[in-house]
A and B are shown apart, each in its own frame.
Chain A
Amino acid sequence: MTREPLRSRELGGADPLDTQLGLPRQSLLQRLRDGRLAPLFQRRAALGLRPGIAPAIVLVPMGMLLGPQVLNVLSVEVLAHLQVGISIGLALLGIFVGRALAREVRNLRVIVAGNIESGMTIVIVGLALWFIITQSLVPVGGSAVLVAFCLAVTAAASSGHTADPRSDPAARLASRVADFDDLLLILTGAVLLVLVRRSYGPVSPTLLVAPVVIGVAVALAGLLLFEHSEEESERGLLVLGAVSLIGGASAYLMTSSLAAGLVAGLVWTLLPGRADEIVSREAQKLQHPLVALLLVAAGAFFVPSVMVLWLVVPYVLFRLVGKILGAISTAALLPGIRAVDLAGYLVPPGVIGVGFSLTFMLALPAEAGRIVVSVAAAGTLISEVLGMLLVPAAPTSNGATDEMANAETTP
């Protein structure tokens, strides 16, 4: 029995092990989907689960349930150990963004559109939340402007709906805009991390280039190793080692794993050789567990408080405003897709934003960090639910869209 391919950069398609095992003859989920529960499974897919909903809708609440606030299965001690996986997961996502960017560097219109849209979201959410925080009487435990803009960076991310070459061209084009809007937020986030650290103590300016140094060094080591490894298991080990080194070195210096991963992904793809293919193939085996870890951890770190309740609604609303205005502003660059459709596609935030909040949490003072991660987790959850309602079911398409969408090389 064949499986319908499902691809998006954050989730990377079906889990390779699932593909090897093949579908069960009578899948329980398939029976549920075809039965009375059919309406629940109409829209976006969760991880590799074909009849599904966005992974954040399942995994963030699961994290909240398992976390210290409710069942305490994921206790504070366990969560501290999970930091390793979080930084590795973010490095992996950064690598995928870097690969995507390097492969489509000539398609400037989509890249510019994505970054205008995310830039507008950062500015709108950041200014709005800064105003709200300064007007509230409840302290956030840190600099209001930094907390507001950390949240704005987490809000700017959008999830690629699909990268399946056979999917609707408009959906594919919107997915690629969503892929490239990560670039600005990753760079802004990396600078913001240094500013956060500078505001609480002296920091060497060299820290600003640390993600570049880490990314380039690991990418060069990878180039020397990957192509000359003899076996699949050896390649898997070396790729995991490289991704762990990017995540680990970034976490050690408290710089952005996403930015370091992005640099490594760019180097692997732009320099000649098969390194990017090898990384992509091997990293896919890790992708789903790491994405699940990021979402569950974000849920587990959620701590309800007055300030979180106070911020989460404007976070979602101004994010929506940012996405709509961003889509309207970039519509001229993307002929063939209606601004309203593009805005709808950009609503689901995916994993990168909430993942970034986990890095900010470590850099900010404890209370401010808790607020950032809690607002980002709750905001992601609500935005994903909104995304289920707003992502167009039958997107418009025409020749121009098809042409732009087809410019993408198959991932």
Chain B
Amino acid sequence: MRRGAALLLVLALAWLVANLDAPQGAPSRVTGLALGVALIAAYLAGVLLERLKLPKVTGYLLFGLVCGPYLLNFITRPMARELQIFNGLAVALIAFIAGLEINITRLAPRLAALTRLSVVILGTMYVCLFVVFWLVWPWLPILPDAPPVLRAALAFLLTAVVASFSPTVTIAVVAESRSSGIFTETALAVVILADLALILMFTVAMEVVRWTGGSASHEIGLLASASWEIIGSLAFGAIVGALFSFYLRSIGREVTLVLVGVCLLLSLAARALHFEPVLAALAAGLVVENIAPPAGDVLKRAVERGALPVLVIFFVAAGASLQVDALATIGLVALAVAVLRGLLAWGGAHLGARMAGQEPPVSNLLWMALISQAGVTLGLTLIAAQEFPTWGPPFQTLMVALIGINQLVGPVALRMALGRAGEVGQMDEGAAPPH
């Protein structure tokens, strides 16, 4: 009741302010208003959905979607764009938190099993998706009459991007639900390893497409750029993490301010140097946790507690940027691909768990952590679409629609899996994951 009254008050104020004679000016002026309304209203929407036994994350996403530019337009396109600006910082902070979760000493005994699990899941998905795409290619809206070799190359490229997961969304859901435990740790490890595989496979697939299309010119340059992106990101993040650890050990003042600076550095500098911000921030967090363990643990708890606003804004921005029009044009094909991808994630996770000797909850719930797709996949899709204008636009439309579906379903599925695994809220208990 009180929350409803507060929500009404906030919305009434926003309506009143929007209808007064505001001076014309930069769109950034509306950001604060959007931020304030989004934080309070989206959070209350999350609380409402939680009462209906749905994850809060769904409330944030739906708030963004319903109030976003495609439906109510309460969060207009300029507002949605401005909210996206926070995403760079949010992604860096989210990945940094994930890095703080990775304690090498604790993880080492399980590393071989985790690698086997990831390889089986990805292998299953890659092989099956490639075969299915090659077979059904004439019915897909991407260059249906392509010659066989090019068709195989395009199927390979589509496989690489469709088989990707979103570490950012996974980490964000874990942080928001304050989950901790063996299932959480396994899910994080698999999506992070898959992210590394995505960058490699996408680079190789692009090269194969170029080669088959007769436009290959700088093979070494491309491999070098992939290495730069992966190794460079990890090295850059590790250096930033080491410097931050030194700061924590030697100075230890104004840590909040310095942490914000570190996340900005990881987000902006990584982008400028063509690094992957998620990998760089992850490496930075990992180095802090493993070099300065006591400070790393305190920092982890404090950052996790304070990260909720960042996570809410991240999901509201994601919901507001969902391209509903892409779903409308190519929705059925995208839905079919999403179902296929989900089935393969389920099959791959079960097979992988059996081969890696994993037991429940990993063996029966892991597939639910492999649904989300988001920013990195979208970025790679855009690269392909810009380079190949003949088949690029329909390729992009299909992927945008697929990402839209997975962005809506993925967080909900993961949150449900975390709940069933009994790991929601375990971060607060400070319990070490059982081994």
Name the residue on A nearest B33 (C-beta).
A248
Residues of A with C-beta under 8 A to B257: 15, 47, 288-289, 292
Report the Cα distance A28→B39, complex, angstroms. Answer: 39
| B306 close to chain A: CB less than 8 A | yes
CB distance from B270 to the nearest CB of A (A): 15
Name the residue on A nearest B4 (C-beta).
A224
Report the Cα distance A251→B39, complex, angstroms. Answer: 17
Checking A15, A49, A253, A288 against B17 with a beta-carbon cut-off of 8 angstroms, the contacting residue is: A253
Check if A21 sits within 8 Å of B248, measured CB to CB: yes
| B20 close to chain A: CB less than 8 A | yes
| B363 close to chain A: CB less than 8 A | no
Check if B36 sits within 8 Å of A246, measured CB to CB: yes
Q: Interface segment, B22-30, B162-170, B202-210? A: B22-30
Known contacts A207-B20, A217-B12, A224-B3: A248-B253 contact under CB 8 Å: no
Check if A204 sits within 8 Å of B21, measured CB to CB: yes
Q: Interface segment, B91-99, B109-117, B294-302? A: B294-302
Report the Cα distance A247→B36, complex, angstroms. Answer: 8
Report the Cα distance A253→B23, complex, angstroms. Answer: 7
| B429 close to chain A: CB less than 8 A | no
Report the Cα distance A214→B13, complex, angstroms. Answer: 7
Residues of A with C-beta under 8 A to B20: 204, 206-207, 210, 253
Known contacts A240-B309, A285-B306, A288-B254: A245-B31 contact under CB 8 Å: no
Q: Which positions 235-288 of chain B face chain A at CB distance < 8 Å?
A: 248-257, 259-260
Check if A225 sits within 8 Å of B14, measured CB to CB: no
Check if B17 sits within 8 Å of A251, measured CB to CB: no
Q: Which positions 93-144 of chain A face chain B at CB distance < 8 Å?
A: none
Check if B32 sits within 8 Å of A225, measured CB to CB: no
Residue pairs across A and B with CB atoms within 8 Å: the count is 192
| A48 close to chain B: CB less than 8 A | yes
Chain A residues bordering chain B, tally (CB within 8 A) = 65
CB distance from A311 to the nearest CB of B (A): 26
Check if B308 sits within 8 Å of A233, measured CB to CB: yes
| A383 close to chain B: CB less than 8 A | no
CB distance from B174 to the nearest CB of A (A): 14
Interface string of A239-270 (1 = CB under 8 A from B): 01111111111011110000000000000000
Name the prevailing secondary structure of the A interface residues: helix
| A17 close to chain B: CB less than 8 A | yes
Check if B9 sits within 8 Å of A224, measured CB to CB: yes
Check if A221 sits within 8 Å of B28, measured CB to CB: no
Residues of A with C-beta under 8 A to B22: 252-254
The range of chain B's interface size is 35 or more
Report the Cα distance A387→B33, complex, angstroms. Answer: 37
Known contacts A241-B36, A241-B39: A21-B255 contact under CB 8 Å: yes
Name the residue on B nearest A225 (C-beta).
B6
Check if A88 sits within 8 Å of B39, measured CB to CB: no
Report the Cα distance A39→B21, complex, angstroms. Answer: 54
Name the residue on B nearest A214 (C-beta).
B13
Residues of A with C-beta under 8 A to B16: 213
Check if B31 sits within 8 Å of A237, measured CB to CB: no
| A395 close to chain B: CB less than 8 A | no
Name the residue on A nearest B30 (C-beta).
A252
Report the Cα distance A206→B21, complex, angstroms. Answer: 10
Q: Which positions 31-49 of chain B face chain A at CB distance < 8 Å?
A: 31-37, 39-40, 43
Check if B32 sits within 8 Å of A28, measured CB to CB: no
| A367 close to chain B: CB less than 8 A | no
Residues of A with C-beta under 8 A to B302: 17, 20-21
Known contacts A26-B250, A289-B257: A81-B28 contact under CB 8 Å: yes
| B312 close to chain A: CB less than 8 A | yes
Residues of A with C-beta under 8 A to B33: 245, 248-249, 251-252
Check if B308 sits within 8 Å of A84, measured CB to CB: no
Q: Which positions 198-228 of chain A face chain B at CB distance < 8 Å?
A: 201, 203-204, 206-207, 210, 213-214, 217-218, 220-222, 224-225, 228
Q: What 9 A-B pairs have minimum CB-CB distances, sorted nearest first?
A: A248-B32, A245-B36, A241-B39, A244-B36, A248-B33, A241-B40, A224-B6, A28-B250, A24-B252
Q: B-contacting residues of A (Cβ < 8 Å)?
A: 15-18, 20-24, 26-29, 47-50, 80-81, 83-84, 87-88, 197, 201, 203-204, 206-207, 210, 213-214, 217-218, 220-222, 224-225, 228, 232-234, 236-238, 240-249, 251-254, 285, 288-289, 292, 362
Could you list some 5 contacts between A and B, CB below 8 A? A21-B252, A83-B31, A240-B309, A244-B39, A245-B13
